[in-house]
Amino acid sequence: MTSCAIVRCPDYGMDNLRQAIIRIIESTDFPAVKGKTVLIKPNILSDAPPEKAITTDARAVEALVAILKERGAGRIIIGDSPATQVARLQPRASGFMEMAERQGIELADFRERNRMHAIDGIDVPMASALDEAAIVISFAKAKTHQLMSATGAVKNMFGTIPGLSKSPMHLRYREPVSFARFLMKLYDECHVDYAFLDAVIAMEGQGPGSGTPRHAGLMIGSASGYAVDRAEGIIMGYDSTPLIETAEKLRPGISEASYPLLRPEDLIIPGYRRIESGKKDTFRTLVLGSVRNLFRRPSSRRPRPSFDAGKCRACSRCVSICPAKALRIESGHIAFTKRRCIRCYCCHEVCPFDAINV
């Protein structure tokens, strides 16, 4: 059984981050990195400042980079591709550009360098950095998620699909269970060797892009991304999440782990504002298969997004990402064709003005 280490980390001070990450590494099956190319995949959903808790904190990634260098890592790459990315990745507000320059490491643009991977009989573009790396590390952010209840180490690797290429995946895999099944196959393709979760400052409420920061004071790490995500869900107060429930039905025991330090059951955050939508979806979706999912109407149990005209700035990010083409801009405002909505919440995820609610 794999081990999953949970440690307390009160803030993003470099000494605290370093101590937390070293303790996690020493308590789990961390891979040997000496002389190897290492890819670190943080969650850079958008180039938001750290205090919004939308991205993995660049300071936490920098602490890991320093430790990897001490352990003799060769080339170190950091990369991601936000859902609406159309220009070169330059995450300055979040601190990743400055950190990469300071550390002298590469910030990869997944949109510019990718190759096709066959998943479920379709070609999916994925970052070429995955092929270049001998070691792949997912460094996720602890956040709620409108479709999947929580997003963590496994879902984080969805960002290896460049930019708007993610949108057709939501159209093909409309329900939480089918999307979880796809994420599992994608995660396999990414050959992830290790997973960290930044839960020093987590996100609750309407995550993953419009929620509220919540201090959790924790850092989690394991060779199993599923173990990390299971621990995250327990700490948030979920009985289960669509990803873990689906994963356990397909591969029993995949998220089980020993906890050499702290146990997630002892760290449940009181009053954590969770998302329950999608949790009750049936396992039947797995049997129906991908082809039938293309023609299924979305579950009526999940609410549609609503749009706040007072906050909207007509930036068109939601229009670009909507896989069902349910949105358009008319007279400077969002026009919404409700019957087309598949309730994937991509629009909510990418809105930079908190103008979309679920």
Residue type, 25: I
Record the tokens describing residue 278, joined without a space: 């999608």
Q: Which architecture does CATH list for 4-266? A: 3-Layer(aba) Sandwich (3.40)
State the SS3 of the chain: CCEEEEEECCCCCHHHHHHHHHHHHHHCCCCCCECCCEEEEECCCCCCCHHHCCCCCHHHHHHHHHHHHHCCECCEEEEECCCCCCCCCCCCCCCHHHHHHHHCCEEEECCCCEEEEEECCEEEEEECHHHHCCEEEEEEEEEEECCCEEECHHHHHHHHCCHHHHHHHHHHCCCHHHHHHHHHHHHHHCCCCEEEEEEEEEEECCCCCCCEEEEEEEEEEECCHHHHHHHHHHHHCCCCCHHHHHHHHHCCCCCCCECCCCCHHHCCCCCCCCCCCCCCCCCHHHHHHHHHHCCCCCCCCCCCCEECCCCCCCCCHHHHHCCCCCEEEECCEEEECHHHCCCCCHHHHHCCCCCEEC
Query: What local confidence, expressed as pLDDT, does residue 84 receive?
Result: 65
- Kindly give, in sequence order, each residue whose CB lies less than 8 Å from that of residue 297, ignoring residues fewer than 6 positions away: none
Calculate ∠ Cα 59-60-62, nearest 5°.
Answer: 60
Nearest to 346 by CA among 356, 337, 336, 338: 356
Report the alpha-carbon distance of residue 143 to residue 133 in Å, rounded: 27
CATH of 303-357, one of 3.30.465.10, 1.20.1200.10, 1.10.10.10, 3.30.70.20: 3.30.70.20
Residue count of the chain: 358
The domain ranges of the chain are 4-266, 303-357
Going residue by residue through the chain, which has 358 residues, state the pLDDT in tens, using 9 for 90 and above. 899 999 999 999 999 999 999 999 999 999 999 999 999 999 998 888 999 999 999 999 999 999 999 999 999 999 998 876 556 778 899 999 999 999 999 999 888 888 999 999 999 999 999 999 999 999 999 999 999 999 999 999 999 999 888 888 998 999 999 999 999 999 999 999 999 999 999 999 999 999 999 999 999 999 999 999 999 999 999 999 999 999 999 999 999 999 999 999 999 999 999 997 544 444 444 444 444 444 445 455 678 888 888 888 888 888 888 888 888 988 788 888 888 888 888 888 788 888 888 8
